[in-house]
Structure 1
C-alpha cells in the first residue's frame, strides 16, 4: 500500500516505522503547505493525517479532492468535520476520523459505553474524567477524553455537557494534566459516599496509536464514505 503522511512529527515518524514493518511504502511526507503538492499526479492509496488543527481541514479535503481516502487522528478542527464529510462523499472516497486509533482505547470506548449504561440510574454516583499526556500535546482536554464524555452524556440524562475542571452539577468535569513523557492515560471514575468505580486505559508508548492508524488505513483502502474505528474493530473481532 502506498501511503502519504500528513504531518511528520513524533506520531508521523511512529506511523512510518509501523507502516514499513507491515510492508507498506511511504510515498510522500507533507509537513508544510499541502497545496504545493500535486496529489492527483501521485500514486497514493491512502493518506494518514496527524498534522495540527490549523492544517487538518485543508490537508484532509485536498486529499479527498484528489480521490485519496484519509485516516485522520488530528483533534481540534472538528467545527469543519461535517463539511469535510460532504467533500469526501462528493469525491466518492473514504474517511475515518478518530480521536484515538489505539485498538485498546477503542475497546475502552466500548467498556465506557457499557459502564455508562449500567450507571445511568444510580444517582448516588457522580462521574468525572481525568486525562494525562505529555507536555507537547497542544489541545486540552484530549480528543479521547471528549469522546469518553460524549459517550456518557448520550446515556446519562443528568449530564448535559462537560467542562474543563470547573464543571457545573449537570456537567462532567474533565481534569487535564500535562507531564513529561506520558503517552496518554485516561480514567473514568464514578464516586459515591460508599465506594468508587474506575476504568483506566494507560498507553505505554505511541506504538498502539500508530499501529491502529495503519490498520485503519489498510481497512479503508478502496472503500467509500464515512466510517469509524468501531467498523475497523468489528472486522478484526469477527
Structure 2
C-alpha cells in the first residue's frame, strides 16, 4: 500500500517551515523575488520550489479571511503526467512501487517544449515545472530517498502544528476521516480534496476555490469514475503514437 500525506489546512499557520525544509533537503537555490502585494513568496511553484504555501485572501461576510494551502504534487494513484509522458518517452516518469511516489527522472530532458506542455496540461493540479537551464522536469519527490530509509519527508518532520502528516495510506485515510468529523463541528464546509485518487490528501475548511484554482482536480468527469478518467486520459494519444 502506498504512503500518503494528510495536510490539515485547519492547522496551517503559513509559517512556511515545510517550504524551506523542502528547499534545504533538495539543496535548491534561492529565487530572486520582490514584494508583489502578498505574503506568498515566490508567486508560484518553480524548479527551485517543489512546495509552496499559497496565501488566499478574501471577504467572508465582510470579514477578511486568510486561507493557507501548502501546494505540492499529489502523487496520484493513477498519475496522468506519467500516462502522457509514456506517450512520448516511456520510462521518463516512473512510480515507485513501494511508496507510490511519482518521480521525474533525469531522462525528462528529452521532452521537447511541446511534449512538456502536454505533460503539464495532463496534470489536473498544474504541478509539473521545467528548469529552463537543464531541461529537467521537477516537482515534489515525496522525499523518496528519506522515506525509503524509514524517515519522514522533510516538510512533515519540521511542521510545528501537526498540519503535515505522513504514513501508510490506510492510517492516513482513517486520520483524515477522524479529523474531518472534528473540524466540521466548527467549519461545516470542511471536506477532503480528492481522497480516493491521490496520495496527498488535503483537509479543507472552506470552498476549494477559496484556496487556489487547482485545489481539486480540474476536469469534467462523465459517467466514468475519476480514477478511470485518469487512467484513460492518454490512451488516444498512445494509439496515435503507435500508428
TM-score (structure 2 length as normaliser): 0.26
Question: TM-score, normalization: structure 1?
Answer: 0.26
Which of the pair has the greater relative contact order for Cα pairs under 8 Å at 6+ separation?
Answer: 2
